Structure 1
Amino acid sequence: MKELVKETIKKDLFINGEWKTANQYTPLYSPYSGECIAEVPAATLEEVEFALQSAYEARNIIASMPSHRRASILENLVKLLEEKADEAAQILALEAAKPITTAKAEIARTIQTYKFAAEEAKRIHGETIPVDAAPGGEGRIAYTVREPIGVVAAITPFNFPMNLVAHKVGPAIASGNTVVLKPAQQTPLSAFFLAELLQEAGLPAGALNVVTGSGSLIGEKLVTDERVQKISFTGSPEVGIGIRNKAGLKRVTLELGSNAAVIIDKDVDIDSIIARCVSGAFAFQGQVCISLQRIYVHEELYSAFVEKFVAATQKLIIGDPLDASTDVSALISSKDVQRALGWIEEAKQQGAKLAAGGQTKNNILYPTVLLDVDPTLKVSCQEVFAPIVLINKFSSVDEAIELVNDSKYGLQAGIYTQNIHTALKATQQLHVGGVIVNDIPTFRLDHMPYGGVKESGIGREGVKYAIEEMTEQKLIVFNQTNSSV
């Protein structure tokens, strides 16, 4: 991998099946080393217009393609990704400072996501309607079909630049839509890598277009352009709410913020869950939508849990993302490091206890554990997106559920308990998009429905569920009597 950074890579826009020289380029820097690793296009409005027109003109080509052919393209992509998995993981480590072991895990999940997309391409179907169940329905046959919606605008974040893109591009191709992809400014190389593979896999020209540059400029054009029929966005609530307000009648899926929590009941063997909770809190520096940010532990287990959790946290290896032993590396930007430090300092000044971490080295924030945190503080009520976790105690599960629900977010939550009645109560009363029993809220498989409530967003991902939101249902009715009604 180190050979790849000896000379700066220069990438072009991918539009209408071709690599297009851009009018402007900007440098891309490694979050870990600070070195310039690439020159990346900064698309103008004219270049975005070209991408949109290409996607719009290609929509009928891919829509009319038989489902087995779309599935075959995705299967080809899977094979190419499997062959180039190491290269893909190295790109993630380079552009996002994702520890290489974690990056490899993301590529494995990305492969699974495209496999699911290939399979679901063959399963898009409607249903027959028993029209004679209503008076006047006699002598008629009715059924529904699902048709592609058209052009999908995919706006993706930096934290899972392969797999979160797959959750938008995979279902779109499977269901016969075209895509204009706007990746995060810090992680464009993985999107260009995907474009290369899909071109080789046989995707028709214009079915995928990749434009990089200013999020506000490109996003505004994609959100307001009448040719775009669906917007799939993963990012901050502020941007997501702005998209929703401007999108009009477009379909919109928003995956937004979270401050995911887990409840640990008094009957739990804490030794069996410490490693899992530490991983949930600090994997990829906490820059995960369902990263474990809040831990609520029953007062009978609190002291022992904190002691063991802190000890395990302090064993994590900090360093170079390209080192296979590294657990935690640099945050995505120095700005995020300073923000996180500010939130830690605010918590300390308001009485929280710093049990681990809190210091930095370059862009690395050491895994940080805070105790006795007031729920109104930023590290509790906002999304930290950094390696920071709080541990507070509770005296009853009802109190813990109330603490979890006391949030403007509601993506996923977890509960560890051996009591089936407690578990059922939690599944019923936790106001989130997904409740994970006897595991951390960070658990996700790529074919499950995934999404939240409140300011965590609207709509669902997970390949099958994304396809439903990328297709229109059409009703067909045949009158067999040929008589007037």
Structure 2
Amino acid sequence: MALDGTAAAAERAFEAWKESSRLERRRLIDAWLEQVGAVREELARLLVQEIGKPITLARAEVARAEATLRATAEVVAAFGEQAVPYDLMAGAEGCRAVLRRFPVGPVLAITPFNFPVNLAIHKLAPALAAGCSALWKPSPQAPETSRLLWESFEAARLAVAAPVHLLQLLGTDPAAAEELARDPRIAAVSFTGSERVGRYLERALAGKRLLLELGGNGAVVVDEGVDAGAVARQLAPAAVAGAGQSCSKAQRIYVHRALWDAFAPAFVAAVEALPVGDPLDPATVVGPLIDEAAARRVDESVDRAVAAGARVLLRGERAGALLPPVVLTGVPETDPLQCEEVFAPVAVLTPVDTFADGLARAADTRFGLRASAYSRDQRHLRLAASTFRAGGVLLNLPPTFRLDAAPFGGVQASGNGFEGPGWAMEGFTEGRLIVEGPAL
């Protein structure tokens, strides 16, 4: 279908769907949940085949996608209308009011390679549940995974007789996606990906509703007095699981100097204990990066950091796209491994003299997706919550900790808005205050 026809079809589907009832929308999401459940193992196997995700993590991703659909179905019942107590306000006696949310129109969702099932569901299911139609540009690295997920939706759509073209699967050509994004019939664009592309979209789509999740530079501050071994074991998979290809991974870990001698070797041992290798092996935690070029770039970045004075605590030999975990210390604060997003199994440990010092250094970043702090001092935890400028602050938890029904998003260079079914639905709707006075 030509791009003009694609946008027109999305607009027609929206016109047919926007007046659907909550019951109809919930039935659609429930039917999609059932269809995803029927192909969950096939989806997981395709994730291994196409992006090298370890099979255990692939199965977990599909399970999370099912949880996201389930949460979306639950939100539908309570979403869309809020009573406003006008009759409590002087001068409005006898008035009744509601704040009602209306779908904005066709939504274009652009999703990345690292979670091609669950991140797609996080955009598409709330858009459809809000009454919008959707167009989906998936990652080019996972074409068969994306096609199977779309086919599961089509089976659900047919089962409940929802409008044709309600969800359209697009090709992966960025230029075509940009042309569609600029089309005035597309009401909103939801993008997860790199900061560079996100900032380009901000300029190119000025004035259009744009929801962005642009990655992070996950910082963790570890205070004195905590159990070094327990914290290390929790942070190790947060830093390197799935080859570290997560926007909320633990990347920069600032450790109180009083705990350093216990924590650093415990963290290295915990990372080293995570199985690396064949993604089809259920024991594997760290599989390959998305391709050999990505692994080579990261390996070269580590070489440059070492040449600049960093000390290696753990490093193995790269084999094609498989890059064993890397743990460094002494990395300059201006090095990209400290100040940029590293989408790889690399962690940087830095000793600090005080918790406050660690917090200040951790918070000195243009990113703002996820940050963590570990302490037994409640004052320190409260200080962390007020100091970190991030969409999510995790206390005594790793930055990767996420429940799919909860809000997830970033600020600063990490984007805007929240995902999570109810919050995403707000992003795909607009509010309208409706006030009714007494009859005259």
Compute the TM-score of the two structures, normalised by the length of structure 2.
Answer: 0.96
Structure 2 counterpart of 1:59, which letter? F
Question: C-alpha separation between the residues in 1 aligned to 2:5 and 2:275?
Answer: 46
Q: Give how far 1:291 is off.
A: 0.7
User: 2:333 aligned with 1:378, yes or no?
Assistant: no
Structure 1 counterpart of 2:264, which letter? V
Question: C-alpha separation between the residues in 1 aligned to 2:361 and 2:216?
Answer: 14
Q: Which residue matches 1:4? A: none
Question: C-alpha separation between the residues in 2 aligned to 1:47 and 1:316?
Answer: 48
Question: C-alpha separation between the residues in 1 aligned to 2:183 and 2:227?
Answer: 54
User: 2:39 aligned with 1:84, yes or no?
Assistant: yes
Q: Which residue matches 1:302? A: 260
Match 1:212 to one of 168, 171, 179: 171
User: 2:152 aligned with 1:193, yes or no?
Assistant: no
User: 2:275 aligned with 1:317, yes or no?
Assistant: yes
> Contact 2:80–2:102 at 8 Å: present in 1 too?
no
Question: C-alpha separation between the residues in 2 aligned to 1:121 and 1:247?
Answer: 29
User: 2:103 aligned with 1:162, yes or no?
Assistant: no
Same amino acid, percent of matched pairs:
35
Stretch of structure 1 that moved more, 317-326 or 411-420: 317-326
Structure 2 counterpart of 1:120, which letter? V
User: 2:85 aligned with 1:130, yes or no?
Assistant: yes
Q: Give how far 1:129 is off.
A: 2.9
Structure 2 counterpart of 1:234, which letter? T
Question: C-alpha separation between the residues in 2 aligned to 1:49 and 1:310?
Answer: 54
> Contact 2:296–2:321 at 8 Å: present in 1 too?
no
Match 1:108 to one of 63, 66, 73: 63
User: 2:435 aligned with 1:477, yes or no?
Assistant: yes
Match 1:327 to one of 285, 289, 300: 285
Q: Give how far 1:480 is off.
A: 2.2
Task: Give the aligned CA root-mean-square deviation in angstroms.
Answer: 1.5
Question: C-alpha separation between the residues in 1 aligned to 2:327 and 2:382?
Answer: 30
Compute the TM-score of the two structures, normalised by the length of structure 1.
Answer: 0.87
> Contact 1:181–1:208 at 8 Å: present in 2 too?
yes
Question: 5 Å matches for 1:157-306?
Answer: 157-202=112-157, 203-215=162-174, 217-306=175-264
Match 1:424 to one of 382, 398, 405: 382
Question: C-alpha separation between the residues in 1 aligned to 2:90 and 2:233?
Answer: 62
> Contact 1:81–1:111 at 8 Å: present in 2 too?
yes
Q: Tell me, what secondary structure is at the counterpart of 1:120?
A: helix
Question: C-alpha separation between the residues in 2 aligned to 1:432 and 1:341?
Answer: 29
Q: Which residue matches 1:405? A: 363
Match 1:70 to one of 25, 48, 62: 25
> Contact 2:293–2:321 at 8 Å: present in 1 too?
no
Higher helix share: 2
How many pairs does the alignment contain?
436
Q: 1:60-95, CA deviations, whole angstroms, 9 ceiling, x for partnerless residues?
A: 222122111111111122122223211111111111
Question: C-alpha separation between the residues in 1 aligned to 2:305 and 2:180?
Answer: 39
Q: 1:161-199, CA deviations, whole angstroms, 9 ceiling, x for partnerless residues?
A: 000001001101111111000001111222211111111
Q: Give how far 1:49 is off.
A: 3.0
Q: Give how far 1:135 is off.
A: 5.8
Q: 1:447-485, CA deviations, whole angstroms, 9 ceiling, x for partnerless residues?
A: 111111110001111111000111111122223243xxx
Q: Tell me, what secondary structure is at the counterpart of 2:281?
A: coil
Q: 1:94-148, CA deviations, whole angstroms, 9 ceiling, x for partnerless residues?
A: 1110000000111111000000111112211322333355565344322221111
Query: Which runs of 5 or more residues in structure 2 are unaligned?
Result: none
Q: 1:254-298, CA deviations, whole angstroms, 9 ceiling, x for partnerless residues?
A: 000211011111010012122211100011100001011111111
Structure 1 counterpart of 2:371, which letter? A
Q: Which residue matches 1:340? A: 298
Question: C-alpha separation between the residues in 1 aligned to 2:427 and 2:413?
Answer: 19
Question: C-alpha separation between the residues in 2 aligned to 1:49 and 1:404?
Answer: 47
> Contact 1:412–1:452 at 8 Å: present in 2 too?
yes
Q: Give how far 1:338 is off.
A: 2.0
> Contact 2:239–2:251 at 8 Å: present in 1 too?
yes
Question: C-alpha separation between the residues in 2 aligned to 1:143 and 1:316?
Answer: 53
Question: C-alpha separation between the residues in 1 aligned to 2:37 and 2:80?
Answer: 29
> Contact 2:137–2:171 at 8 Å: present in 1 too?
yes
Q: Give how far 1:211 is off.
A: 0.7
Question: C-alpha separation between the residues in 1 aligned to 2:215 and 2:150?
Answer: 28
> Contact 1:275–1:312 at 8 Å: present in 2 too?
yes
Structure 1 counterpart of 2:172, which letter? G
Question: C-alpha separation between the residues in 1 aligned to 2:252 and 2:372?
Answer: 10
Change over 3 Å in CA distance of 1:50–1:358 after alignment to 2: farther
Stretch of structure 1 that moved more, 224-233 or 132-141: 132-141
